[in-house]
Amino acid sequence: MPITDMRKLEAVVSLDDDERAWDPDGPSTLPMLISDSLIPLLSNPAIRHQFVPTASENRDCIGSLDPQQEAEHHGTKRLIHRYGSRAAFCTTDSCFAYCRHCFRRRFAGHLAGPASREEILAAAEYAASHKGIKEILLTGGDLFTLSDSRIEEMLSIFRSICPGVILRLCTRAVLTCPERFTNNLMDIIRRYASMGAPFFLMTQFNHPEELTERSCRAVARFVDIGIPAFNQSVLLKGVNDDEETLIALSDKLLMNRIKPYYLFQDDPVRGTDHLRVDIERGLEIERNIRASLSGLAMPQYTADLPDGGGKVILTHQYLKGRTMHDGRPRYIFETPDGEERYYPE
């Protein structure tokens, strides 16, 4: 049973004044829900900051509830088509626990419910008719809050109508409800993963302590049946805004066969400003961890630009200029260690 009440939460952990002062009717618009699986982890402040709401959410008025302008890019009622080659299908607005940094807080937890069969059909037919769409993100909310029968219906429809489209299974349930991944559910996923284009598992782990034995076992169930796992972290103040934590996270992800994929700059969503790291500090962190991590372990530090601007990679500029040498042009580079090197044109 999820923890859904501040008094219940206080019975498990000692809340500070800022947490007790959170107003559930304030401008943040995101309800509180914390799964039982997370309760043992809340003694870690880095994990607690992600799930226990504070009064800061009600004070943070910077930003928009829809900074990516998803509402303006609906292909169908539940399908967001903001990029030419991929689209996001909002399977449900429910999660097992609501992340306080959620960028879709205008939708999450607002009782919209699961997508209907008609909405799934409309999305699949839209994707089939738009040949440029190569991938669909099954997101929300969290896909795996749905029943096995609803998940099977959804996969069946997408596979029958657009079998050549890659499906990304986007979830945080491997952390928030690892027991959800039963033999029956995995049999369903295995069956449809063997038809048509591949499946990819997209996780969100933001701190190495989130990679518990149970969450790693849940991910392994996907990898063991041939579904690659990629992780999308969010850079968050007080959670992972230091080099040591991010290096440990990448190392632990790789050891559990999960590719560190993105390190997202937290979106300028109303109610989340207290969690946002300055981009200048983010670039410093990116530069420092790049010097310690292999290419396989290095996530792309990325910002999803406001007003529907799209994703851009944020990185230190290693190309410093261009000069002539012996009558030939050459480029001047800075190495990750801060030295200078020349590269002939």
d(C-alpha 251, C-alpha 298), whole Å: 9
Q: What is the DSSP string of 98-119?
A: --TT-TTTTTTTSS--SPPHHH
Q: Is residue 279 part of a domain?
A: yes
* One domain, residues 110 and 160: yes
Q: Among 190, 194, 252, which Cα is nearest to 224's?
A: 190
Per-residue confidence of the chain (345 residues) as pLDDT tens digits? 588 888 888 888 888 999 989 988 887 678 999 999 999 999 999 999 999 999 999 887 777 777 776 767 788 989 999 888 999 999 999 999 999 999 888 888 888 899 999 999 999 999 999 999 999 999 989 999 999 999 999 999 999 999 999 999 999 999 999 999 999 999 999 999 999 999 999 999 999 999 999 999 999 999 999 999 999 999 999 999 999 999 999 999 999 999 999 999 998 888 899 999 999 999 999 999 999 999 999 999 999 887 777 889 999 888 899 998 888 899 998 888 888 999 988
Q: Other CB atoms closer than 10 Å to residue 137's CB: what's the count? A: 21
* One domain, residues 90 and 166: yes
d(C-alpha 162, C-alpha 64), whole Å: 34
Q: Is residue 336 part of a domain?
A: yes
CATH number of the domain that 206 lies in? 3.20.20.70
* One domain, residues 237 and 308: yes
Q: Is residue 1 part of a domain?
A: no
Range of the domain at 337: 316-345
* One domain, residues 50 and 173: yes
* One domain, residues 329 and 308: no
Q: Which amino acid is at 82?
A: R
pTM of the model: 0.93
Contact 35, 177 (CB under 8 A): yes
Tally the domains of the chain.
Answer: 2
Instruction: Say which residue the tokens 């690892």 belong to.
Output: 178
Q: Quick one: 84 exposed, middle or buried, by C-beta within 10 A (0-12, 13-18, 19+)?
A: exposed
Q: Is residue 186 part of a domain?
A: yes
Q: Is residue 301 part of a domain?
A: yes
